[in-house]
Amino acid sequence: MDAPSPHISFEEYKETAEWLLSQTKLRPVVAIICGSGLGGLADRLEDSVTFKYEDIPRFPTSTVQGHAGKLVFGRLVGHDCVCMQGRFHFYEGYSIHTVSYPVRVFSLLGVKTLIVTNAAGGLNDSYRVGDIMIIKDHINMPGFAGQNPLCGPNDERFGVRFPCMSDAYDRDLRLKLRSTAEAMGVVHFLQEGVYCMVAGPSYETIAECKFMQTLGADAVGMSTVPEVLVARHCGLRVLGVSLITNKVVTDYDSKEKANHEEVLQTTQRQTKLLQDLVCGVLQM
């Protein structure tokens, strides 16, 4: 299917939502966006119905290794859910509006809660590879350059012109995730911090990493923020989780280099733990 245009009408979102509703009897209240290598969570859905992105009217398609490109409906620990196996990124050449397209569709499906996961580089010196960071706030670097999915005409049917973002990441959901980790005995893997989004696809320079540390960022990645902005604009509750898959390089004498293969390898080791935590939150 053709990708949506930069400024997308309510009717276009509605067309996608109505097509999906006509294809399944499931009515999701939770949407989960899976980051690099984390799409296995969709395999836990019961009574699942799967759609390839290219078969969904007006839906974009994912082009990144580790992103399957499927939308899966099903039941997870008693909740009707829809799960994205693979997301869209600004660096793929999509507009920032297209990147967040599915979230508005989810709101029209009746979704009330968005859980978003990602693979991220650790900026905080105390973080270890394999840690799981609860996102408590974000820094939107592309937004500083005017790349915000809420730019353009505002449709009041989705939300207000100037939405608040000081409460972007739901406090109760964050507490539930921490309680789940404590009950599972894995709280030693848990961190809570600030996620910084950069446009990518190049990894960050040493100077850029030091700059983000100065700003107060704990982890850095190339996704998540556009979806969160649109979700909050639509009134959805948001839980954001980063899997720390590598440590950023901040030493000019270091021979370490960030690479996507390392990201996927770390994700493979910790993906079951992250899935268990998400399921635990939904059970509470």
Asked if residue 5 is part of any domain, the answer here is no
> Which CATH number belongs to the domain containing residue 22 in this structure?
3.40.50.1580
For the question of residue 42 being annotated catalytic, the response is no
Token pair, residue 162, equals 């100037």
Task: Spot the catalytic one: 31, 89, 204, 219.
Answer: 89
For the question of residue 89 being annotated catalytic, the response is yes
Asked if residue 89 is part of any domain, the answer here is yes
Count CB neighbours of 158 within 10 A: 18
Task: Spot the catalytic one: 12, 18, 79, 91.
Answer: 91
For the question of residue 11 being annotated catalytic, the response is no
Which residue, chain included where needed, has tokens 């569709």? 105
pLDDT at 266: 66
For the question of residue 95 being annotated catalytic, the response is no
Helices (H), 30-157: 96-99, 101-109, 141-144
Query: Which residues neighbour 43 within 8 Å (Cβ) at sequence distance 6 or greater?
Result: none
Torsion on CA atoms 228, 232, 236, 241, rounded to nearest 10: 30
Asked if residue 234 is part of any domain, the answer here is yes
Asked if residue 1 is part of any domain, the answer here is no
Task: Spot the catalytic one: 100, 107, 118, 223.
Answer: 223
Our count of domains for the chain comes to 1
Asked if residue 203 is part of any domain, the answer here is yes
Q: Which amino acid is at 201?
A: P
CA distances from 161 to 9, 101, 153 (A): 16, 18, 9
pLDDT at 142: 96
Specify the pTM: 0.91
For the question of residue 212 being annotated catalytic, the response is no
Task: Spot the catalytic one: 53, 67, 204, 217.
Answer: 67
Asked if residue 2 is part of any domain, the answer here is no
Q: Are the C-beta atoms of 266 and 129 separated by less than 8 Å?
A: yes
For the question of residue 7 being annotated catalytic, the response is no
- Of 106, 110, 120, nearest in space to 228 by CA: 106
Count CB neighbours of 183 within 10 A: 11
Q: Are the C-beta atoms of 109 and 242 separated by less than 8 Å?
A: no
CA distances from 137 to 4, 114, 218 (A): 29, 15, 10
Q: What is the Cα 107 distance to its own chain's centre?
A: 15
For the question of residue 184 being annotated catalytic, the response is no
For the question of residue 138 being annotated catalytic, the response is no
Asked if residue 4 is part of any domain, the answer here is no
pLDDT at 3: 46
* Domain span at 51: 10-283
For the question of residue 188 being annotated catalytic, the response is no
For the question of residue 233 being annotated catalytic, the response is no
Please give the backbone phi and psi of residue 5, each rounded to the nearest 5 degrees, phi first. Answer: -75, 165
Task: Spot the catalytic one: 36, 100, 124, 148.
Answer: 36
Q: Are the C-beta atoms of 112 and 30 separated by less than 8 Å?
A: yes
Taking 50 as the pLDDT cut, the residues of the chain under it are 1-5
Asked if residue 244 is part of any domain, the answer here is yes
